[in-house]
């Protein structure tokens, strides 16, 4: 598996009522999601558009042990805040890209992102004209184009950038994701092209090129803020090199390639949100693990009861994940502690 750290994961999560996004539905500090890194060669299903469609990822598999936590934090807490000081929020994908954004009544604006490729840190700063990640409200069929200008820092060499983005709500319907079916889904497609000319040390000297990222984000309109599936590709065309990579992230635990995986049929958590005690109902599993939004283990229960009552009254307010393990199988669900 190639470890691809993509700039394309601008995870601005939104919920919707009647398939319409509003400013009240945007992400803010404290929101989090555990993602499973899935088969990067999976088709992007670009041609599956319209209303009442079905996106079939029922056979999608995941890489063994590859997970990423996406956490939204206050931008001022980022070590790179000086480069993104107009942003309110910092979307930090563990082991992946960092996106800086702000919510407005009519849009979500990106002030840039930071990512790492082959050990090299790249910063893209929309510090002249920010990029519109989402128009609000936005429903199926809505589309727009937005331009952006700013600065890129590549190999420590700053350079001016310009480009545009096209965002379209191109489909609604059913998503078959592993063994889970989501029946009220909207897909948002983003295509962004950024051009720049970078001056590098001899003998490379001046190099011009473009970076194109294409991203498909699937949202479960009824149940969660963050995308339930992300299919993203980045392609670089330049005088130095040409190439591209893809990454697929699933909020649902998927079968592991080449592993005979047992099934975990039951995971129920109530009440959720909770403030004193939470009850976890499961079948015969080996282990119950509670993790915080950073992926740190808070509590482990070996051979939990089928109905396990857990005291969370001393937990800090925020997002947690309860994960069950049985052999090679895992099943994870989000817990909110008030």
Q: Which residues pair with 320 in a beta bridge?
A: 292, 335
59-80, pLDDT tens digit by residue? 999 988 788 889 999 999 999 9
* pLDDT score recorded for residue 260: 52
pLDDT digits (tens, 9 = 90+) for 225-253: 889 999 998 877 877 667 667 889 999 98
What integer is the mean pLDDT of 211-238? Answer: 86
- Of all residues in the chain, the percent with pLDDT exceeding 90 is 52
216-232 mean pLDDT? 88
Across 178-194, b (16+ Cβ under 10 Å) vs e yields bebebeebbbbbbebbb
For residue 222, what pLDDT is reported? Answer: 73
Coil, helix or strand for 283?
Answer: coil
CA dist., res. 321 & res. 299, Å (int):
11
What pTM was estimated for this model as a whole?
0.78
Mean pLDDT, residues 292-317: 89
Please report the DSSP string for 254-275 in residue order.
-PBTT--------EEEESSSBS
Distance from C-alpha of 93 to C-alpha of 247, rounded to nearest angstrom: 13
Query: Over the stretch 284-293, which tens digit does the pLDDT of each residue have?
Result: 889 999 988 7
Residue 59: exposed, middle, or buried by beta-carbon count in 10 A (0-12, 13-18, 19+)?
exposed
Say what the pLDDT of residue 206 is.
77
Query: What was the pLDDT predicted at 22?
Result: 66
- Determine how β-strand 307-311 pairs with β-strand 318-326: unpaired
Q: Is the dihedral of CA 273, 278, 282, 287 positive or negative?
A: positive
Which pair of structure tokens corresponds to residue 323?
Answer: 């994960």
What proportion of the chain, given as a percentage, has pLDDT over 70? 85
> Is pLDDT at 186 greater than 50 in this prediction?
yes
pLDDT tens figures, 142-179? 999 999 999 988 767 788 999 999 999 999 999 999 98
**β-bridge pairing 98-103 and 107-117:** antiparallel
DSSP 8-state symbol, 84: S
96: nearest Cα among 40, 37, 12, 28: 37
pLDDT value, residue 5:
29
Reply yes or no on whether the pLDDT at 84 is more than 90: yes
More confident residue, 8 or 124: 124
Enumerate the H helices of 81-187 as residue ranges.
none
DSSP assigned state of 17: B
pLDDT in tens, 120-148: 778 889 999 999 999 998 899 999 999 99
Over range 77-93, report the average pLDDT: 95
Is the backbone peptide bond immediately before 273 cis, with ω within 30 degrees of 0? yes
- At 266 the pLDDT is 87
How confident is residue 220, by pLDDT bands cut at 50, 70 and 90? confident
Distances (CA, A) of 290 to 210, 254, 319, 329: 43, 19, 11, 16
Kindly state the tokens that stand for 315: 């937990």
Mention every residue, 6+ apart, whose C-beta is less than 8 A from residue 324. 264, 267, 282, 285, 287, 288, 289, 330, 331, 332
pLDDT of residue 26: 84
CA–CA distances in Å: residue 29 to residues 32, 92, 175, 274, 310: 9, 11, 28, 19, 26
What number is the average pLDDT over the span 296-302?
90
- What's residue 25's pLDDT? 67
pLDDT at 223 over 50: yes
pLDDT at 53 over 90: yes
**In angstroms, how far is CA 185 from the centroid of its own chain?**
16
The dihedrals phi and psi of 289, each to the nearest 5 degrees, come to -125, 135
Torsion-angle region of 196 (φ positive above 0: left; ψ -120 to 50: alpha; else: beta): beta
* Mean confidence (pLDDT) of the chain: 85
CA distance linking residue 217 with residue 185, whole number of Å: 10
């Amino acid at each position: 598996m190639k470890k691809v750290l993509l700039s394309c994961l601008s995870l601005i999560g939104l919920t919707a009522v009647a398939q319409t996004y509003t400013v009240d539905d945007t992400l803010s500090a404290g929101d989090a999601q555990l993602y499973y890194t899935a088969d990067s060669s999976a088709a992007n299903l670009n041609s599956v558009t319209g209303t009442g469609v079905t996106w079939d990822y029922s056979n999608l598999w995941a890489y063994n042990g590859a997970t990423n936590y996406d956490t939204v934090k206050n931008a001022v807490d980022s070590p790179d805040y000086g480069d993104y000081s107009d942003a309110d929020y910092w979307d930090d994908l563990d082991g992946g890209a960092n996106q800086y954004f702000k919510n407005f009544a009519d849009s979500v604006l990106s002030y840039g992102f930071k990512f790492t490729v082959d050990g090299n840190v790249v910063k893209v700063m929309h510090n002249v004209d920010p990029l519109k990640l989402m128009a609000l409200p936005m429903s199926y069929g809505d589309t727009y184009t937005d331009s952006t200008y700013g600065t890129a820092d590549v190999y420590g060499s700053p350079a001016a950038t310009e480009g545009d983005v096209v965002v379209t709500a191109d489909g609604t319907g059913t998503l078959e994701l592993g063994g889970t079916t989501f029946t009220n889904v909207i897909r948002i497609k983003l295509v962004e092209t950024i051009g720049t000319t970078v001056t590098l040390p001899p003998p490379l000297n001046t190099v011009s090129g473009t970076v194109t990222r294409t991203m498909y984000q699937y949202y479960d309109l009824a149940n969660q803020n963050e995308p339930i599936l992300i299919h993203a590709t980045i392609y670089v065309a330049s005088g130095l090199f040409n190439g591209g990579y893809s990454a697929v992230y699933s909020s649902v635990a998927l079968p592991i390639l080449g592993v005979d995986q047992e099934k975990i049929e039951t995971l129920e958590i109530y009440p959720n949100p909770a403030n004193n005690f939470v009850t976890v109902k499961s079948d015969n599993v080996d282990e119950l693990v509670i993790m915080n939004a950073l992926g740190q283990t808070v509590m482990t229960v070996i051979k939990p009861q089928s109905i396990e009552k857990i005291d969370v009254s001393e937990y800090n307010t925020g997002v947690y994940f309860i994960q069950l393990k049985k052999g090679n199988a895992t099943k994870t669900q989000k817990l909110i502690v008030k």
